[in-house]
């Protein structure tokens, strides 16, 4: 699986911080919301982080982290 895009479905996010705690290279707090860092909009940047991204997805209690392959 090659991830080309990652995003957080903001309407579902409860701002628990699990994503940033697991994968701070991709996820960041933006005020009271969590978002994807701008540099993470690049498939080459995401490629070496795939295992950590999967861990963040699995750790999200409301399953709001989405990916595109």
Number of domains in the chain: 1
The neighbouring-strand residues paired with 27 are 36
Query: Which residues make Cβ contacts (< 8 Å) with residue 52, sequence separation at least 6?
Result: 22, 23, 25, 26
Average predicted confidence (pLDDT) for the chain = 95
| pLDDT tens, position by position, 39-59 | 999 999 999 999 999 999 999
Residue 13 in 3-state DSSP?
coil
Here the CATH number for the domain that contains residue 14 is 3.30.70.20
The boundaries of the domain holding residue 30 are 5-68
Q: Is the pLDDT of residue 63 over 80?
A: yes
């Amino acid at each position: 699986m090659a991830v080309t895009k990652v995003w957080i479905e903001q309407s579902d996010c409860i701002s628990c911080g699990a994503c940033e705690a697991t994968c701070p290279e991709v996820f960041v707090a933006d005020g009271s919301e969590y978002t994807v860092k701008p540099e993470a909009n690049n498939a080459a940047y995401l490629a070496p982080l795939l295992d950590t991204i999967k861990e963040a997805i699995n750790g999200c209690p409301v399953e709001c982290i989405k990916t595109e392959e």
